[in-house]
Every structure is written in structure tokens, then in C-alpha cells.
Amino acid sequence: MPTGQVYNPGQDEELVTELTACKAKCLRYNQLPSGAEKKELLKEILGQSGENCHIEPNFWCDYGWNIKVGDNFYANHNLTVLDAGGVTFGDNVFIGPDCSFYTSGHPLDAARRNTGLEYAYPITVGNNVWIGGGVRVVPGVTIGDNSVIGAGSVVVKDVPANSVAAGNPCRVIREITEADKNSDLNWKK
């Protein structure tokens, strides 16, 4: 799994056990009120978390230990992270509601797919990234530092640093420039 090779998670007892345990922790996390216990449980779920990490419920992931989160991380409601391939979020990342990060995929050939095989490629989100609501990120994608991903985008290719990108499939619309420091917050300009 960690090497990007094809594997069958349903036939690996260790993975099934880890997946089941993580889902139970996520369920508990989603039911807890805000407070110290909830913060501690999130640290237990995630493989690495920086200072000021907050994820609104509902939050679901597969293993948890394969997620690294930097400082000042905020994710709005309904974050899903299928982290078999590993997901790294940098510092100062803001994620809108209903976003998903999928590191796992399946063979195109139906016969192989039907045996339960899958692969997993890492996703990396740089520092100072804002991801709008309803975004989907697929296996193997890197989103560069200081970028903004528009709501509803499906990110299927890498996004370079300092970019505004949006759409399905997501594409770079423009670079973020010095003029944006004084803008009226409208990313379409």
C-alpha cells in the first residue's frame, strides 16, 4: 500500500483491523461536543497534527495514521480523507465544507477490480492553501503553496503554487499577484 503497488485491503487482516478501529474513533469524534476530549481524540486519529488543528464534524478517514496536518489547519463540515496513500496538509490550510481527498483508486479492468484490488498514491497540499466547498482531490495530486481551489472543483492534476484554479476538471485560471493583496476578495478578476 505505501509503495503505490496494487493491493487488496479486504484480504489483509491488519488493514481491516486498523480501518475498523479508525472508523470507530471517527464516529466517536463526530459525536463529541467541542472540548479537550475531542481535541485529544483528533490527535489520536491523525498521524501528525500541528498547533491549532480543528475539523468540524462529520469527519471520516480510513486509517488516520497516514494523515499529516500542519499548524493552523481548519476543515469545515463533512471532510472525507481516504488516506491509504498518505495525505499531507501544510500550515495555514483552510478547507470548505463537503470536501474529499481520495488517495485510493481501482484497476480499469473490471475483472481485476472485482477481486477487490486497489492502489493508493499520496496527496500533498502545500502551505497557505484555501480549498472551497465541495472540492474533490484524486490520487497523486499536489496542490502548491498559496493556492486557491474554487468550490466544486475536481482536482485531477497538480496545481502550481500561487494559483487560482477551479472547474471540473480543475484547471489554473490565473496566478495570484501582488494586486490581490488589495483586491475586493473576488477571485474571478
pLDDT number for residue 1? 85
- Residue 116, C-alpha cell as written in the block: 477487490
pLDDT number for residue 32? 97
Q: What value does the mean pLDDT take over residues 51-58?
A: 97
Active site residue 106: yes
pLDDT number for residue 54? 97
Domain 5-180 grouped into CATH 2.160.10.10: yes
pLDDT number for residue 114? 95
- Residue 59, C-alpha cell as written in the block: 469527519
Q: What value does the mean pLDDT take over residues 32-61?
A: 97
Q: What value does the mean pLDDT take over residues 62-70?
A: 98
Query: Residue 55: pLDDT band by 50, 70, 90 thresholds?
Result: very high
Q: Taking each helix axis as running N to C, give the angle between helix 13-31 and helix 36-45, from 0 to 180 degrees, rounded to the nearest 10.
A: 160
Annotated catalytic residue, options 28, 106, 136, 171: 106
Query: Residue 2: pLDDT band by 50, 70, 90 thresholds?
Result: confident
pLDDT number for residue 180? 86
Q: What value does the mean pLDDT take over residues 28-54?
A: 97
Helices (H) and strands (E) in the chain, counts: 3, 19
